[in-house]
Amino acid sequence: MTHDPVLCLASASPRRRDLLASIGVAVEVRPVDIDETPLSGEAADAYVVRLAREKALAGGRLSLLPALGSDTAVVCDGTILGKPAGRDQAATMLRALAGREHQVLTGVAVSGPAGLLTVCVTTRVFMRAITDAELAAYWATGEPADKAGGYAIQGLAAVFVEHIEGSHSAVVGLSLYETADLLARQGVPVWNGALPLGPMS
């Protein structure tokens, strides 16, 4: 059974689309192109929220529906780790993350009748030590090439993650608890409209 879209997703990310589908939110996908370069001296939390806001506003100009924008950053020692440029950079990133804790910050913004609502969620991720052979084998799978920080927690790299403190879905790309709250405040139904959830905060 198909459902009419109730939200504009200002992203081409299949992970964010699938996460929204998992809570029964049908979307129209309207990818937007914005400059994702961090500003000089910009903190990671400000960075992900700024990009989420810009994406939501851009999506709102393309659709009559409320629009959602989101951005996720992997942060190690205060440095934002983007997508690796190649095998060597991916290995450098994963060596920096291995055997210790790092943070994943996800900003979410929803534009709609209530204006522009935003939230930033921080999740602590603890990785085990990773051998050079594992790094080489992981790169060969192709998975880390287009992933921030050089890994995908929902994919093969799950075997490297000892545990997390916070939202698993946020590390994948969209914090569902907080997103559902923003959607409720904008009047966007979840569960395919079966139950209009009230604001959680």
Catalytic center residues: 71
Q: Nearest-CA neighbor of 157 among 137, 187, 181?
A: 137
Given a contact cutoff of 8 angstroms between Cβ atoms, the answer to whether 123 and 180 are in contact is: no
Q: Nearest-CA neighbor of 164 among 89, 118, 97, 108?
A: 97
Given a contact cutoff of 8 angstroms between Cβ atoms, the answer to whether 150 and 98 are in contact is: no
Residue 85: how many other CB atoms lie within 10 Å: 9
- The amino acid present at 180, given as its one-letter code, is A
Give every CB contact of residue 124 below 8 A, 6+ residues apart in sequence: 101, 102, 103, 164, 165, 166
Helices in the chain by DSSP H: which ranges?
14-22, 44-60, 87-97, 132-140, 168-172, 176-185
Buried b or exposed e, range 51-80, using 16+ CB within 10 angstroms: bbbbbbbbbbeebebbbbbbbbbbbbeeeb
